[in-house]
Structure 1
Amino acid sequence: MSDKSVFIYEFVSGGGFNKINIPISLFCEGFAMLRATIASFKELSFKITTLLDDRITYLSCYLKTDQIDFVAACDEYYDLFENHVKKCDYCFIIAPEFSEILYNLTKIVEKNEKTLLSINLPGIKLATHKFKTFQYFKQYGVKTPQTYLLPRIYNFFDKDFAIRQFKRLKGPIVIKQEDGVGADGIFLLTSEKQIHHFFEDFSHKLDPEKSYILQEYIEGEDLSVSLIGTSNSPIILSINSQSINISAQNTSSEYIGGNTPVKNFETVKKEIIKVLNCLNLELFQGYFGIDFIRKSNGENYLIEINPRLTTSYIGICNILHSNPAELIVQAKLEPLKLLNEPSLKKKHSKFLRLELEYIGEKPIEELQEKTIPDLIKLIPEILTPPITVQSLSEEHSSLIKSKYSCFIATEESSFFESEKRIKKIKRFFKENHFKILS
């Protein structure tokens, strides 16, 4: 494949937020996914091109690409994206579904008649909308939380409707963006009093330009299954646990990371195969994931479909004998070769974002040019180097305290060994005067 070029585009690090501040948590995951994806495609000898926000040009040295173009604040990233699409043979897109971003980028690829290695438009169209996905799950009779579109009255979301459904469901409810991704914009409400309080005092947290769903809250373990969709049944790569903090009304929910594979992988795999066999997943050819909740009694409730590469890919690269990028390419170009599921190494990966605060006395320039590169040599698990996305003026350049985020992924023999390694990594940071915030 050395004569073929692939344009790998990750929205957050690739200039999608070029006119506003980059959300630091999304950036950490996005750059880590970009780096892992580029590395796995490079093993297949592709010529690789990508885009990178020009505020983080110094991170380009960590990407094994043949060409990187930078997106400035004055640029229209859609135009740069399409220019790269026109020059490549294949395209692979990592982007959020909200505001039709993933759909519109994919549409550009299909308009230019390039080979798309990520999920096609019909699958994206279904999975972008959580209420449509709920109806899809119900159509095939699989377990899924009861879900409603949250109506409006005179441009205000209907509090009384939420209270009625809370009483009908006889338990906590979740309110989330209808096209949201990850844990962004999710609120857990556990009492009628809390619902009143949320709609009266915190309704400003709901974007008036967005649609929202109200969903039955299912208590259990947050899991996801990572899949390669083919013309036949999808192939399971791994099953992952997810670390998600679901908030009450006054704080933000957040996705922190996860583990792969889950501790009881074979048991959960047998259970989820039975569920997947009930579905028609022909719309999803390529890499995608399904989030689900496993109750303590072994029942699995499907939550949503992610029609794209997800953060768990970072860990999956560390536990498979096969290169997942090769499976992605085969799913699109040679689906008949994908007959058997890839085998897992006897490995475990824990992947997570670390929030740090530098409490030493080195100037920021020395941190970026010396301390952080030295830490990356010491800690090969770092995928997104410690970064703070701020525009620092001269008067701020000598600050000795600054908050950073990074993303790491272990490759160890067991869950226990991954936990030990994480503790050791945190100790390395502390020895270099980084305080661990989370």
Structure 2
Amino acid sequence: MANNDAKFIQQGMMMLNTLVTSFSRCKHTVYYPTAGTRLSCGNALPSRSFFKSLEFSKNCDAGVVIAPDELLRGATEILEENTCNLGSSPDAVHVCADKLACTRMLKQHNLPVPRTVINCVTEGVWVVKPRFGCGSEGINRINVTGMQKIPKDAVATEYIKGEHISVSLVASNSSILPLTINRQIIRHNRGSITYHGNQTPFEVENKREILDIASTAIRILGCRGYAGVDIINSDQPCVVDINPRATASIVPVSQVLTREIAELILQAKNDILPSKIDTMGSAEMILPG
């Protein structure tokens, strides 16, 4: 986990606590790097350098990285050099982090994605966001009457009205297990679009279609372990982002599963995922601000 943004640090600590707690409940010895914060379980590895702390992974049987997209590939490469990686490969991480490349790959396989452009946009309503990055940082909706340039490090996607949802999944080499559909709490403020949490599970009328789209996207991109697919559920559901890693959704999702999330991640690595998973109750995570 590495980022200087307070909001990302908060979300990262929540994800870290969820995973450390789950692996500990499964009777595994767990180590985690930290610059100061101590969790109620697991073994802290004090370190001021995130990448240096990853070297300890050579003493472990397996590991999983929690990090923003811009650091995830490098961190995953280090982890794979030292031990068994329970998450997606560096190559899968790299493609998913590039919103343009990711969208183009999904489109090539006939998955529904919004029209996506770079450099400039024409008349219409567009969502402009960083080409590389995670979360909902720097995402804005703009109304264009003629032609307008966008920053060189950004992409623009057509604005689609609909329900903001995500699908949480666990993927192995031969199978994909959908866990939950989640409602994303999205706020619009003077053109800015920000993420403030999620509620799970969330019922949709086209559940089978949504799960099929999400599973196919994960299969195309080669994600492994815990992953998420962000979708705008409109007349035609559209995939808007792929997260090849643990996201904040893992916090409430793990609370409603009837199995430990750590157990499922390990089963994915060993390619012995169950065919289905049940949930019990509901949970939500609301970010302050």
Note the 1:60-79 alignment, pairs <5 A: 60=38, 62-65=39-42, 67-72=43-48, 76-79=49-52
Q: Which residue of 2 aligns with 1:328?
A: 265
Kept in 2: contact 1:183–1:246 (CA 8 A): no
Shift of 1:242: 0.6
Shift of 1:63: 3.1
Note the 1:211-360 alignment, pairs <5 A: 211-248=153-190, 253-264=193-204, 267-276=205-214, 279=217, 280-281=219-220, 283-295=222-234, 297=235, 299-333=236-270, 335=271, 337-345=272-280, 347-355=281-289
Distance (Å, rounded) in 1 between the aligned partners of 2:215 and 2:253: 23
Kept in 2: contact 1:232–1:282 (CA 8 A): no
**Are 1:183 and 2:136 matched, yes or no?**
yes
Shift of 1:185: 1.1
**Are 1:147 and 2:116 matched, yes or no?**
yes
Structure 1 counterpart of 2:69, one-letter code: E
Q: TM-score, normalised by structure 2?
A: 0.92
Structure 2 counterpart of 1:308, one-letter code: R
Q: Deviations over 1:369-398 (max 9, x none)?
A: xxxxxxxxxxxxxxxxxxxxxxxxxxxxxx
Distance (Å, rounded) in 2 between the aligned partners of 1:80 and 1:274: 38
Name which one, 1 or 2, has greater alpha-carbon Rg: 1
Distance 1:289 1:139, change over 3 A: same
> Unaligned 5+ residue runs, structure 1?
1-10, 151-160, 356-438
Distance (Å, rounded) in 1 between the aligned partners of 2:228 and 2:214: 12
Shift of 1:343: 0.8
Compare 311-320 and 238-247 and name the one that shifted more: 238-247
> Secondary structure at the residue paired with 2:199?
strand
Distance (Å, rounded) in 1 between the aligned partners of 2:102 and 2:13: 28
Distance (Å, rounded) in 2 between the aligned partners of 1:86 and 1:63: 24
Identity of aligned residues (%): 26
Distance (Å, rounded) in 2 between the aligned partners of 1:233 and 1:329: 13
> Secondary structure at the residue paired with 2:262?
helix
Distance (Å, rounded) in 2 between the aligned partners of 1:188 and 1:225: 23
Kept in 1: contact 2:165–2:230 (CA 8 A): yes
Kept in 2: contact 1:183–1:244 (CA 8 A): no
> Secondary structure at the residue paired with 1:81?
helix
Kept in 2: contact 1:33–1:311 (CA 8 A): yes
Q: Which residue of 1 aligns with 2:34?
A: 52
> Secondary structure at the residue paired with 2:14?
helix
Q: Deviations over 1:162-193 (max 9, x none)?
A: 3xx2x2xxx31011111111101111102438
Structure 1 counterpart of 2:198, one-letter code: G
Kept in 1: contact 2:175–2:273 (CA 8 A): no
Distance (Å, rounded) in 2 between the aligned partners of 1:185 and 1:282: 25
> Secondary structure at the residue paired with 2:220?
coil
- More relative contact order, 1 or 2 (CA 8 Å, 6+ apart): 2
Distance (Å, rounded) in 2 between the aligned partners of 1:42 and 1:301: 37
Q: Which residue of 2 aligns with 1:102?
A: 72
> Unaligned 5+ residue runs, structure 2?
none
Distance (Å, rounded) in 2 between the aligned partners of 1:277 and 1:23: 31
Structure 1 counterpart of 2:102, one-letter code: T
Distance (Å, rounded) in 2 between the aligned partners of 1:77 and 1:259: 31
Note the 1:1-16 alignment, pairs <5 A: 11=1, 16=2
Q: TM-score, normalised by structure 1?
A: 0.62
The alignment yields a C-alpha RMSD, in angstroms, of 2.1
Query: Number of paired residues?
Result: 288
